[in-house]
Structure 1
Amino acid sequence: MKKILNNKLYLKILISDLISNFGDTLYFIALMTYVTEIKNSNLAISIVTLSESLPILFTIFLGIIADKTLNKVEMIIKTLWIRVVLYLLVAIVMNFRASIMVVIFASVVNLISDTLGQFENGLFYPISNRIVKKSDREETMAFRQTVTSTMNIINQSVGAFLITILSFFHLALINSMTFGISLLIMLLLKSQVNKYYEEKTSSNNRLPLDFRAAFSDIRSNLRLSIKHLFRINNMRTILLVIPILNGSLAILLPLVVVNLSKGTALTIINAATTISLLGISTVSGGILGGALILISNKFKQLSLGNLLQMNLMTILLSFIACYYQNIYLIILGSFLSSIFVGALNPKMGTIIFNNIDETKLATIFGGMVTYFQLGEVVSRLIFSSLVIYFPYSYITIIYIVVVLIATIYTFSKVQNV
């Protein structure tokens, strides 16, 4: 811990990232609250959900581009400049009367900003790798995860409060300012980071990016990953169900927002507070799940199958609570599900590490993440279509049926894995 706190450069970069994360959280809550106030709210929610989903599809490709980028620090600064300008434009547009056109513009900006954010993360990975000693990396990653999750809870709470006292114009302006502060920090650190990083990378010869070859690599890596994953003993059922689990969790918040746009049945104080509390329950549940794996022997002894079964049951509880419009039960279900997800992830990672040839680990892990995220993307795309044509209760029933089938299938197939 002392080594991390003594690494001033790493802490400054982490602070820059945390500041921009606050802006992202504030903007997301503001945008979700904004769509509940316009007439054509279902279409608006569909558009916002799409803007949140599509950047996930670019993850691998953006990683390849980031690896091929030579002047990473300069590129990070450029992406921050673009995001500052984009949210200044959103602030101007938010001065107009609430309408679907404003939502479309704000969602396009959200899509571009999230895509740039993923690209920026890819640029940061090798920089962080250089400024943290190899012996300190595991502890540093755990520290970063804990700090980021804790700050996410604070961000949700502060965001909900600010939305009650500020206009959407001011919220977009604050978001732009957070990226401006991150930009200023990176400009001040530019020479220091370059000195630390370029000395070790300037001699590297990188080939220019071949887009056709990149797409071919992505396709072959994903196919190879799925093939290896399905070869692991007793894993077929779990690997079939986890994308359904992820996809169901991904649309819980948009489903609540649909209800908030139609009435006050799920409202706690106001729409922003409700959205924030749901986000806090998810983050805090994930933190607790990871902690329980470390400190509780009983929790540690639960099999992957057991955790998956309990996870599906809590998600089912959340959707049933959605149908009966009980927000407190929805939050409880989201919290419990996040605990089991927090415990499921390290167990899943351990199985991969123990069963895959170490020379293929990076490829398999990258493909695994993409495979699991596809469930989330597909679910959001389906939800974006359903929300335009079907009422809230019908969509809820559809997801109750899907999760119930997955739960029954899991109990009938999964043994102690």
Structure 2
Amino acid sequence: MKNLLKNKLFLILFANDLLSNFGDVLYYLALMSYVLQLPDAKVAIALVSVSESLPILTGFVMGHVADRTLDKLGKIFHTLLFRVGLYSLVGIVMGFQPALWVVMVAAAINFFSDLAGQYENGLYIPLSLRIVADEDREASYSFKQAVGFVTAIGFQSLGAVFVSVMSYQALAFVNAGTFLLSAGILFLIKSPIQALLSAKPILVQDKQEGENLARNLWRSMKEAVEACLSIPELRQSIVLTPLLNGLFNILSILIAVIISQDKQFVLINPATTLAAISVAQLLGGILGSVLGMNALKSVSIGAILRSATLLVPFLFLCLYQHWLYGLFFLVFLALVLAAAVNPKMNALILNSLPEEKLALISGGIGTYFQLGSLVLRLIVSGLILFLPVEGVSLVFGLVGVCMIIYAYKGRKSS
């Protein structure tokens, strides 16, 4: 830990990442608050959900592009400026009267911004291997996760205040400004990063003559799944992780729908309610990060995932009953478990990947683990148009019961 606190490049880049995270928090709260004031809020919520779900499919594609990029540092700078332009455009359209077409534009921009973010993350992975020493890498993940959760509590609270006092247009421009400031900070520390890259150049896989992109991507996706299957603890999670990711992901959609229909299902106003849910997640994440470094350090990934399945039926029961405070508590517990298991998975995955395919295969693994989120978000986006939210909650509560049976039956048979 002492080495990390003395690593100025690591700390500056981490602070830079936190800055853009603050902008993202503002944008999410502003967009969801904007959506909830529309007469056709359910359609708008479905649009936003689809725009956030589709990039799940593209993680390994953007990772493939990132792996083949030579000037990774320069391209990171360009992606930041690209996102400045995107959110500036959102700021312009937010100046018009609230309408569904504005949400459509914002959702499309959100999609392209997520693609740029995936590309940027893939570019940064090999840089991080040179900025943080091998022996400090696991500690860096724990440190970033814990600090990220702590600062995000302030971001959510401050974001709720900003949404209450600032226009949606102004908030979009503030988000654009955070990416511009991030680009400026990156420019200032460009020289020491270049020195590290000169001392240890990044390995880039050569493009083969006559290479077929689709076939190469398919092969890489297979390599990602094979990498999971080759690690016993990840093999245990191959079914449960995508489903858990998906079920926890759709909570935000159903919560937004209930808020739009039940004015009693709020704390002060919709923005503060969404922020309070996020704060419950963040508090759980902080506790889970701490427990993951001591009390839960020796607990297996499979055991934590099985425990998480026990929460699923009760989460959807709270939604079915419109029980807000019970939902807060269960979301908190779910994030305790998620924060404890994530560093374990990251360490296992990154320690098994070759550098020249690092972004592609890790992106493929991430895509596979998030497939449940994509499928279930798309299903929910359709179901909320035809079923009451209570019916949707009941359906997924039953899915949770089936997951518990599968998880513990599989444990007995193994």
TM more than 0.5 = yes
Say which is worse superposed, 326-335 or 151-160, in terms of deviation. Answer: 151-160
CA deviation digits over 1:290-333, x for unaligned, max 9?
3223332xx55656554334312212111100011011111111
Indicate the SS of the match to 1:201.
Answer: coil
Whether 2:408 is the aligned partner of 1:411: answer yes
CA deviation digits over 1:36-63, x for unaligned, max 9?
1101111111111111111221111111
Q: How much does 1:12 deviate?
A: 2.0
The TM-score with structure 2 as length reference comes to 0.89
Q: Is the 8 Å Cα contact of residues 220 and 361 (structure 2) preserved in structure 1?
A: yes
Seen in structure 2, the aligned counterparts of structure 1 residues 190 and 292 have a Cα distance that, compared at 3 Å, is: closer
Q: Is the 8 Å Cα contact of residues 285 and 339 (structure 2) preserved in structure 1?
A: yes
Seen in structure 2, the aligned counterparts of structure 1 residues 118 and 227 have a Cα distance that, compared at 3 Å, is: closer
Counterpart for residue 42 of structure 1: 42
Whether 2:20 is the aligned partner of 1:23: answer no
Taking the TM superposition and a 5 Å limit, the aligned residue runs for 1:159-198 are 159-198=159-198
Counterpart for residue 240 of structure 1: 239
Counterpart for residue 116 of structure 1: 116
Indicate the SS of the match to 2:97.
Answer: coil
Indicate the SS of the match to 2:385.
Answer: helix
Q: How much does 1:234 deviate?
A: 9.8
Say which is worse superposed, 104-113 or 220-229, in terms of deviation. Answer: 220-229
Q: Is the 8 Å Cα contact of residues 304 and 416 (structure 1) preserved in structure 2?
A: no
The separation in 1 between residues aligned to 2:362 and 2:84, in whole angstroms, is 33
Q: Is the 8 Å Cα contact of residues 59 and 118 (structure 1) preserved in structure 2?
A: yes
The separation in 2 between residues aligned to 1:26 and 1:41, in whole angstroms, is 20
Q: Is the 8 Å Cα contact of residues 225 and 365 (structure 2) preserved in structure 1?
A: yes
Seen in structure 2, the aligned counterparts of structure 1 residues 74 and 154 have a Cα distance that, compared at 3 Å, is: same
**Among 321, 324, 329, which residue is 1:324 paired with?**
321
Q: Is the 8 Å Cα contact of residues 35 and 261 (structure 1) preserved in structure 2?
A: no
Q: How much does 1:88 deviate?
A: 1.3
Counterpart for residue 278 of structure 1: 277
Taking the TM superposition and a 5 Å limit, the aligned residue runs for 1:196-235 are 196-198=196-198, 200-201=200-201, 207-208=206-207, 213-226=212-225, 229=228
CA deviation digits over 1:69-99, x for unaligned, max 9?
1112221121111111111111111111111
Structure 1 letter corresponding to 2:115? T
The separation in 2 between residues aligned to 1:164 and 1:173, in whole angstroms, is 16
The separation in 2 between residues aligned to 1:3 and 1:303, in whole angstroms, is 28
Indicate the SS of the match to 1:265.
Answer: coil
Indicate the SS of the match to 2:189.
Answer: helix
Indicate the SS of the match to 1:414.
Answer: helix
The separation in 1 between residues aligned to 2:210 and 2:150, in whole angstroms, is 38
Seen in structure 2, the aligned counterparts of structure 1 residues 262 and 77 have a Cα distance that, compared at 3 Å, is: same
Counterpart for residue 333 of structure 1: 330
Q: Is the 8 Å Cα contact of residues 315 and 334 (structure 1) preserved in structure 2?
A: no
The root-mean-square deviation of aligned C-alpha atoms, in Å, is 3.2
Seen in structure 2, the aligned counterparts of structure 1 residues 352 and 97 have a Cα distance that, compared at 3 Å, is: closer
Counterpart for residue 125 of structure 1: 125
Structure 1 letter corresponding to 2:367? T
Q: Is the 8 Å Cα contact of residues 287 and 336 (structure 2) preserved in structure 1?
A: yes
Counterpart for residue 97 of structure 1: 97
Seen in structure 2, the aligned counterparts of structure 1 residues 230 and 69 have a Cα distance that, compared at 3 Å, is: closer
Structure 2 letter corresponding to 1:239? I
The TM-score with structure 1 as length reference comes to 0.88
Q: How much does 1:187 deviate?
A: 2.2
Counterpart for residue 263 of structure 1: 262
Q: Is the 8 Å Cα contact of residues 146 and 286 (structure 2) preserved in structure 1?
A: yes
Counterpart for residue 4 of structure 1: 4
Structure 1 letter corresponding to 2:382? S
CA deviation digits over 1:266-309, x for unaligned, max 9?
2111111111111122232133223223332xx55656554334
Say which is worse superposed, 105-114 or 392-401, in terms of deviation. Answer: 392-401
The separation in 2 between residues aligned to 1:236 and 1:190, in whole angstroms, is 40
Q: How much does 1:24 deviate?
A: 0.9
Q: How much does 1:171 deviate?
A: 0.9
The separation in 1 between residues aligned to 2:48 and 2:273, in whole angstroms, is 18
Structure 2: 5+ residue runs without aligned partners?
none
Counterpart for residue 82 of structure 1: 82
Q: Is the 8 Å Cα contact of residues 58 and 115 (structure 1) preserved in structure 2?
A: yes
Q: Is the 8 Å Cα contact of residues 285 and 338 (structure 1) preserved in structure 2?
A: yes
Taking the TM superposition and a 5 Å limit, the aligned residue runs for 1:254-403 are 254-296=253-295, 299=296, 304=301, 306-345=303-342, 367-403=364-400
Say which is worse superposed, 176-185 or 393-402, in terms of deviation. Answer: 393-402
Q: Is the 8 Å Cα contact of residues 322 and 330 (structure 1) preserved in structure 2?
A: yes
Seen in structure 2, the aligned counterparts of structure 1 residues 138 and 385 have a Cα distance that, compared at 3 Å, is: same
Structure 1: 5+ residue runs without aligned partners?
none
The separation in 2 between residues aligned to 1:235 and 1:14, in whole angstroms, is 28
The separation in 2 between residues aligned to 1:78 and 1:357, in whole angstroms, is 27
The separation in 2 between residues aligned to 1:213 and 1:179, in whole angstroms, is 35
Seen in structure 2, the aligned counterparts of structure 1 residues 229 and 138 have a Cα distance that, compared at 3 Å, is: closer
Identity of aligned residues (%): 36
Higher RCO by CA contacts (8 Å cutoff, separation 6 or greater): 2
